[in-house]
Amino acid sequence: MTTLVILVMTTMLTGQLNFPVDGNWYSWTPTTFPNVLYDDGGPSNNYGNDGLGGLTIYPAIGAVQVTFNFFDVESEPTVPCGYDALYVYDGEDFTTLIGQYCNSNPPPTTITSTHPSGALTFIWSTDVSITQGGFDITVDDYYSSFPIILTSFTAEPLEGINPQVEINFEVASQVNNDYYTILHSTDAYEYQPITTIPGAGNSNTATSYRFT
């Protein structure tokens, strides 16, 4: 079993990709979606022995969603995935492990990032003997059918001679979002627009807004 000593984020990668196993930690934002991630053996060969690498995949917008089209990674009979393993983490680092996968513990068909960055991070580790078919993974850019992901919203009255309402809301991401419209009603049936707030277009950065 290969021991992970340290992985340091290095070069940005582009294009269709074979998983790098040179001991470094890379980032990859595919130039087109969907794209394909193969093990280090590529689409036609078994993966190699004694490999280790890290890879963080970023979306163009929204969240990374991966679909396992083919998966064949050596099992270890006594320690689950103790020989060869693909580790998948939610986000940009190795904090939140989603799963450690091999033939005795195969991955789900689809994994989607829930991290604010929209990223998924992988470690691919192989031992010094026995190789198998590896994996073929479709990498796609997933986002909700709604143009924003709203994470909080509050509307609180302000005391005063002319009472006002302070509106605060936060969104985790935005897709082609031009602006927000604030509406006002006195009867909860008919609403009139009172202002617009510029949106951020396309963004994976959490953004807060306020209006009084």
Contact 189, 77 (CB under 8 A): no
Count CB neighbours of 201 within 10 A. 11
What tens-digit pLDDT sequence spans the chain (212 residues)? Answer: 444 444 444 445 555 689 999 999 999 988 888 899 999 999 999 999 999 999 999 988 788 999 999 999 999 887 889 999 999 999 999 999 999 999 999 999 999 998 888 899 999 999 999 999 999 999 998 875 567 777 888 888 887 756 788 889 898 777 778 888 888 877 777 888 888 888 888 777 788 999 88
C-alpha angle 170-32-120 in degrees, rounded to nearest 5: 50
Q: How many Å apart are CA 74 and CA 95, to the nearest integer?
A: 25
197, two tokens: 């707030």
